């Protein structure tokens, strides 16, 4: 019993923190705040347990049922709240507080019930041993099983059902020492059955709830929603046939205008190398940058390194996405590697003529490391002597300091840089950095055949930066300070 309530209590904590980091960004801050508030609320719950003195067995069961409902419904309700309410953070910490207080009540009440049967030192030893074991089970189960297999919403509902089962079992296991207590346990058994039934129904409808909330929050009809081991993938479609990919609620592309983004990302760097035979892509699991790279006839080999195998499988097999990337991942010249780029780039390999870094924006420290001096030094070591590198570098207009921080970081490790920008209607003004270890003239070549956006005049114009996005002095993004993440969060918060 202690093992179950400890496991579910930790899962609620981790699920709420993960959801907060998904929708608010900055995983370190969100996890820190949620865990701190949750532990404080648990302490408050433990202190409040001293005021419960009558019918401890029934009180424990009712606390367990309340935990089942509030904890089990925490993720789905917060998910809906983010889509439909402007007070998400207030609701987030109210939920954290309620769940924490209820979880804090559980163990003290159970210990007081069981102390009638066991010697105190034996009881404390057993209870705390199982409590700590539950923390291990919860943490491992959450990251390795629950989120990858079920998703956040189904995970909290599953744990709520476990709490309800504990309560239901307790109505039979706990002794009815008086007629009044016996009646109380019978009524508690009925409540436990109702709560369990409600959570099972919620479980069965969780997919509909998720789709409705995501459709409301993201716009368009949700055609695919998938929780992977690393992120949440959502595809939406508009009535006009346009479709979008979102990762953790952040737009990655819209089929209407993604050609602007990917042509601008790929073709300047490909044109900067005399013979771009070997190409390396960091990120870009949707295959759209790869599509543009394969338009260059000199290309003999492309390594695509993306962390999430679910993303590359989606790009390979989803009909709309595979059509959009022209089945690029099926090309015989392409090697798909599902690995952490920071680890993979650190290994000695045959040099690449071109490296394209198409990672998501540095919204948190896990992504910010891929824009650090350490990572750019690793990329430099993989680059052929006359090679060139391109980095997607967020918006020079909406996140001006972030953009120039990326430029400064590349310069810090010895790159010559040429910042440039393009207007993408779905994103606004968007920035990139072209980099090489030697001289770097403005590129003029384009791949054979027509492009949807770029022509020689447009290509040259990309490198003309207006005054309102001109260079700013910024810190360099080292791995140990992650200055870029701070810039990014401060700048986008103003616009959001």
- 199-210 pLDDT, tens digit each: 988 888 776 666
pLDDT of residue 243: 92
What average pLDDT score do residues 432-457 get? 94
pLDDT of residue 85: 62
* Nearest residue to 304 (alpha-carbon basis) of 276, 326, 330, 323: 330
Please report where in the chains the tokens 């953009």 appear, as a residue: 403
- 493 vs 140, higher pLDDT: 140
**Close Cβ partners of 352 (under 8 Å, ≥ 6 residues apart):** 278, 279, 280, 303, 382, 383, 384, 387
Q: Where are the beta strands (DSSP E) in 166-307?
A: 221-227, 232-237, 243-247, 250-254, 278-283, 301-305
Question: Annotated catalytic residue: which of 358, 429, 455, 468?
Answer: 358
Angstrom distance (rounded) from CA 132 to CA 141: 14
Residues of the chain with CATH 3.40.50.150: 256-495
Residues of the chain with CATH 2.30.140.10: 213-253
Could you read off the pLDDT of 358-406 as tens digits, one per residue?
A: 999 998 888 899 999 999 999 999 999 999 999 999 999 999 999 999 9
Residues of the chain with CATH 1.20.1250.20: 2-208
What average pLDDT score do residues 35-64 get? 89
The model carries a pTM of 0.76
Residue 341 clears pLDDT 70, i.e. is over it: yes
* 213-253 classified as CATH 1.25.40.20: no
pLDDT of residue 151: 76
Could you read off the pLDDT of 251-302 as tens digits, one per residue?
A: 899 999 999 999 999 999 999 999 999 999 999 999 999 999 999 999 999 9
**Close Cβ partners of 461 (under 8 Å, ≥ 6 residues apart):** none
Lowest mean pLDDT across 21-25, 73-77, 235-239, 438-442: 21-25
Catalytic site residue 26? no
Residue 103 clears pLDDT 80, i.e. is over it: yes
Residue 466 clears pLDDT 90, i.e. is over it: yes
Binned at pLDDT 50, 70 and 90, residue 211 comes out as low
Q: Phi/psi of residue 325, each to 5°?
A: -90, 10
Q: Which CATH number fits domain 256-495: 3.40.1640.10, 3.40.50.150, 3.40.50.300, 2.60.40.1180?
A: 3.40.50.150
pLDDT of residue 281: 98
Binned at pLDDT 50, 70 and 90, residue 150 comes out as confident
CATH number for the region 2-208 comes to 1.20.1250.20
pLDDT of residue 217: 60
């Amino acid at each position: 019993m202690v093992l179950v309530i400890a496991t579910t209590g930790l899962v609620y904590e981790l699920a709420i923190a993960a959801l907060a980091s998904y929708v608010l960004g900055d995983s370190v801050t969100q996890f820190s705040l949620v865990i701190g508030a949750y532990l404080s609320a648990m302490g408050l719950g433990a202190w409040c347990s001293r005021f419960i003195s009558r019918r401890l067995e029934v009180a424990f069961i009712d606390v367990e049922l309340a935990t089942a409902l509030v904890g089990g419904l925490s993720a789905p309700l917060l998910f809906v709240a983010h889509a439909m309410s402007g007070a998400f953070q207030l609701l987030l910490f109210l939920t954290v507080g309620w769940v924490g207080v209820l979880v804090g009540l559980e163990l003290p009440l159970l210990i007081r019930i069981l102390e009638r049967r066991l010697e105190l030192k034996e009881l404390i030893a057993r209870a705390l041993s199982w409590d700590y074991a539950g923390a291990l089970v919860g943490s491992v189960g959450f990251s390795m099983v629950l989120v990858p297999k079920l998703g956040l919403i189904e995970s909290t509902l599953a744990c709520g059902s476990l709490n309800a089962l504990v309560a239901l079992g307790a109505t039979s296991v706990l002794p009815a020492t008086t007629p009044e207590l016996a009646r109380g346990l019978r009524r508690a058994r009925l409540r436990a059955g109702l709560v369990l039934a409600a959570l099972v129904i919620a479980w069965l409808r969780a997919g509909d709830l998720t789709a409705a909330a995501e459709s409301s929050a993201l716009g368009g009809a949700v055609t695919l929603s998938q929780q992977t081991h690393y992120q949440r993938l959502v595809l939406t479609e508009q009535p006009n046939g346009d479709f979008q990919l979102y990762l953790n609620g952040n737009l990655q592309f819209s089929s209407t205008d993604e050609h602007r983004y990917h042509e601008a990302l790929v073709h300047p760097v490909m044109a900067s190398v005399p013979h771009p035979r070997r190409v390396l892509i960091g990120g870009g699991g949707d295959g759209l940058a790869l599509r543009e790279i394969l338009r260059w006839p000199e290309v003999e080999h492309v390594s695509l390194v993306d962390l999430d195998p679910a993303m590359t499988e989606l790009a390979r097999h989803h009909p709309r996405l595979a059509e959009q990337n022209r089945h690029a991942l099926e090309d015989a010249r392409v090697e798909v590697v599902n690995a952490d780029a920071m680890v993979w780039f650190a290994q000695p390999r045959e040099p690449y003529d071109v490296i394209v870094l198409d990672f998501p924006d540095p919204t948190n420290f896990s992504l910010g490391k891929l824009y650090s001096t350490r990572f750019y030094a690793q990329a430099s070591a993989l680059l052929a002597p006359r090679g060139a590198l391109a980095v997607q570098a967020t918006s020079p207009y909406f996140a001006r300091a972030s953009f120039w921080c990326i430029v400064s970081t590349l310069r810090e490790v010895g790159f010559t840089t040429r910042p440039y920008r393009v207007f993408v209607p779905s994103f606004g003004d968007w920035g990139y950095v072209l980099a090489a270890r030697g001289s770097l003239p403005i590129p003029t070549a384009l791949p054979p055949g027509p492009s949807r956006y770029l022509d020689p005049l447009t290509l040259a114009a990309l490198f003309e930066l207006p005054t309102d996005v001109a260079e700013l002095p910024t810190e360099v993004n080292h791995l140990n300070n992650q200055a870029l993440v701070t810039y990014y969060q401060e700048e986008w918060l103003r616009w959001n």
